[in-house]
Amino acid sequence: MTVTASNRPNTRVFGPAVLLLLAALSVSGNALAKDQFRIAWSIYVGWMPWDYAAESGIVKKWADKYGIEIDVVQINDYVESINQYTAGAFDGCVMTNMDALTIPAAGGVDSTALIIGDFSNGNDAVILRDKAELAEIAGQKVNLVELSVSHYLLARALASVGLTERAVTVVNTSDADMVSAFASGGPTAVVTWNPLVSEILAMPNTNKVFDSSRIPGEIIDLMVVNTETLKANPALGKALVGAWYETMSIMSKDDEAGRAARTAMGKASGTDLAGYDAQLASTKMFFEPAEAVAFAKSEQLPLTMEEVASFSFDHGLLGEGAPNPGFIGVAFPGERYFGDDGNLKLRFDAGFMQMAADGAL
């Protein structure tokens, strides 16, 4: 997710109707063959490699190989980055699987999950002040980025102890304000993501009572690109995937170059090598493209997206006219679908990652 500091959303800047209009206005531009592209990223452990790849020249190297230019732009506000992508200001953007479904897809923008980078395996957490058991969250106000993966994690956590959202009061809080709000002494329960989790847990009398390792593979971090743009410009997909896995190869090694890369990523996200490595320990990174391809082709991924779609529908995130959780179709490798295959707006494409696995880029 990630984000002033991470991979997840808050309230929308644009409503679905406005996004539909903006998307319609941007389609013709996105669909044309071109040689200059813009992608957006925000701070989160699983997306820091994009910063390193850009700063180190890896992105330029791969863009040059395919005769294109790629501008890698950091956006401090995570949801704003997705809104701008949805409105057509960017050709690609990092986001979670849930946000890909509920923002661009729900806004009518046909998007492709080009790279499955990782899934949160402990980076997203429910934290209580002065309480050590999750069930003690009942009756409390819970600060989180409403309608985000944090909200989804809360619902999954509550269900694990036989509670529903009726047991708590959700208080919408921007990721940018989360740490300062908790430090003020007001909030007693929060749901957020790293590096915010680490900062809050460093405060006295705090306890992590549930985290995403309890629902592995459900909060997935992606590089999403406009489907029409990718179709018209496959060079963009090849360059991004090539740059990504070259960066994965470097950062995954415990050698001087690997430590230097992770140090740079940690510094850029406000921590150091030890802090960044600690966040990586709670992240299931797909360092090898074959791992990501296997995940994309797994039987579990459609089931996960069905779970996410049900949550999104229950919270009105699929649009006012959505009659059921399958209103927006999601495509998976192997011609598998969830939902309405006549309204496909989110596609998990393993093709470019497979090219990386085959050494064909």
Q: What is the pLDDT along the chain (361 residues), one digit of tens a residue?
A: 333 333 443 333 334 444 444 444 444 445 577 899 999 999 889 999 999 999 999 999 999 999 999 999 999 888 889 999 999 999 999 999 999 999 999 999 999 999 999 999 999 999 999 999 999 999 999 999 888 889 999 999 999 999 999 999 999 998 888 999 999 988 999 999 888 898 999 999 999 999 999 999 999 999 999 999 999 999 999 999 999 999 999 999 999 999 999 999 999 988 899 999 999 999 999 999 999 999 999 999 999 999 999 999 998 899 878 999 999 999 999 999 999 999 999 999 999 999 999 999 9
Domains in the chain: ranges and CATH: 36-119+218-358 (3.40.190.10), 124-214 (3.40.190.10)
d(CA 354, CA 352): 5
Length of the chain: 361
Extended strands (E) in 188-343: 189-193, 206-211, 220-226, 283-285, 329-332, 336-338
Q: Are strands 344-348 and 329-332 parallel, antiparallel or unpaired?
A: parallel
Q: Which long-range contacts (CB under 8 A, 24 or more apart) does 294-301 make?
A: 295/116, 295/119, 295/217, 296/113, 296/116, 296/332, 296/333, 296/348, 296/349, 296/350, 296/353, 297/332, 297/333, 297/334, 297/350, 300/217, 301/217, 301/332, 301/348
d(CA 333, CA 341): 14
pTM: 0.86
